[in-house]
Amino acid sequence: MDTQTLIYLFVGATFALYIGIAIWTRAGSTSEYYVASKGVHPILNGMATGADWMSAASFISMAGIISFVGLDGSVYLMGWTGGYVLLAMCLAPYLRKFGKFTVPDFIGERYYSQTARLVAVICVIFISFTYVAGQMRGVGIVFSRYLEVDINVGVIIGMCIVFFYSVLGGMKGITYTQVAQYCVMIFAYMVPAIYISMMITGNPIPQLGFGSEVIGTGQSVLERLNGLSTELGFDTYTDGKKSTIDVFFITMALMVGTAGLPHVIVRFFTTPTVRAARLSAGYALLFIAILYTTAPAIAAFARTNLLTSIPGISYTEAPQWVSNWEKSGLIAWLDKNGDGKIQYGPGAPFVGAPTFAAERGANGERVVTNAPTEAATELYVDRDIMVLANPEIAGLPGWVIALIAAGGLAAALSTAAGLLLVISTSISHDLLKSNLMPNISEKKELLAARFAAGVAVLVAGLFGIYPPAFVAQVVAFAFGLAAASFFPAIVMGIFSKKMNKEGAIAGMVVGLAFTFSYIVYYKFIFPTAGPADWWFGISPEGIGTLGMIFNFIAAIAVAKITAAPPEHIQHIIEDIRIPRGAGAAIDH
Judge whether residue 568 has pLDDT over 70: yes
Judge whether residue 578 has pLDDT over 70: no
Judge whether residue 345 has pLDDT over 70: no
Averaged pLDDT of the chain = 79
* Cβ(232)–Cβ(342) below 8 Å: no
* Nearest of 384, 129, 73 to residue 251 by alpha carbon: 73
* Nearest of 57, 41, 297, 487 to residue 49 by alpha carbon: 41
Q: What percent of the chain has pLDDT over 90?
A: 8
Q: What's the pLDDT score for residue 140?
A: 76
Judge whether residue 540 has pLDDT over 90: no
Neighbours of 427 (CB within 10 A): 22
* Nearest of 158, 146, 161, 190 to residue 21 by alpha carbon: 161
Across the range 479-494, mean pLDDT stands at 86
Distance CA 320, CA 310 (A): 11
Q: What's the pLDDT score for residue 475?
A: 64
Q: What's the pLDDT score for residue 36?
A: 66
Q: How confident is the model at residue 553 (pLDDT cuts 50, 70, 90)?
A: very high
* Cβ(378)–Cβ(333) below 8 Å: yes
* Nearest of 407, 387, 15, 23 to residue 182 by alpha carbon: 407
Judge whether residue 97 has pLDDT over 80: no
498 vs 370, higher pLDDT:
498
pLDDT digits (tens, 9 = 90+) for 347-400: 555 555 566 676 776 666 667 666 655 555 667 777 777 888 888 888 888 888
Q: What's the pLDDT score for residue 546?
A: 94
Phi (first) and psi of residue 507, to 5 degrees: -65, -45
Q: What's the pLDDT score for residue 231?
A: 67
Q: What's the pLDDT score for residue 582?
A: 46
* Cβ(155)–Cβ(140) below 8 Å: yes
37 vs 112, higher pLDDT:
112
pLDDT digits (tens, 9 = 90+) for 26-41: 766 677 776 667 778 8
Judge whether residue 586 has pLDDT over 50: no
Phi (first) and psi of residue 404, to 5 degrees: -65, -30
Judge whether residue 561 has pLDDT over 90: yes
**Cβ contacts of 366 within 8 Å, gap of 6 or more:** 326, 327, 329, 331, 332, 333, 356, 360
Judge whether residue 151 has pLDDT over 50: yes
Q: What's the pLDDT score for residue 514?
A: 94
Across the range 568-578, mean pLDDT stands at 80
Judge whether residue 545 has pLDDT over 70: yes
Q: What percent of the chain has pLDDT over 70?
A: 85
Q: How confident is the model at residue 583 (pLDDT cuts 50, 70, 90)?
A: very low
Q: How confident is the model at residue 547 (pLDDT cuts 50, 70, 90)?
A: very high
Dmax (CA) for the chain in angstroms is 78
pLDDT digits (tens, 9 = 90+) for 76-93: 888 877 877 787 777 777
Helix axis angle, 501-520 to 114-146, nearest 10°: 30
Judge whether residue 549 has pLDDT over 60: yes
344 vs 108, higher pLDDT:
108
Output the CA angle 182-184-187, nearest 5 degrees. Answer: 100
Judge whether residue 291 has pLDDT over 80: yes
Of the listed ranges 11-20, 347-356, 490-499, the least confidently predicted one is: 347-356
Q: What's the pLDDT score for residue 190?
A: 92
Task: Give first-to-last CA distance, the chain, whole Å.
Answer: 58
Q: What's the pLDDT score for residue 325?
A: 79
Judge whether residue 106 has pLDDT over 70: yes
Judge whether residue 470 has pLDDT over 60: no
Distance CA 120, CA 127 (A): 10
Q: How confident is the model at residue 124 (pLDDT cuts 50, 70, 90)?
A: confident
pLDDT digits (tens, 9 = 90+) for 302-343: 888 887 777 677 877 778 888 777 776 677 777 776 777 777
In the chain the domains, ranked by start, together with CATH numbers, are 19-302+397-471 (1.20.1730.10)
248 vs 53, higher pLDDT:
248
Across the range 475-488, mean pLDDT stands at 80
Distance CA 193, CA 311 (A): 23
Most confident segment among 98-112, 166-180, 195-209: 195-209
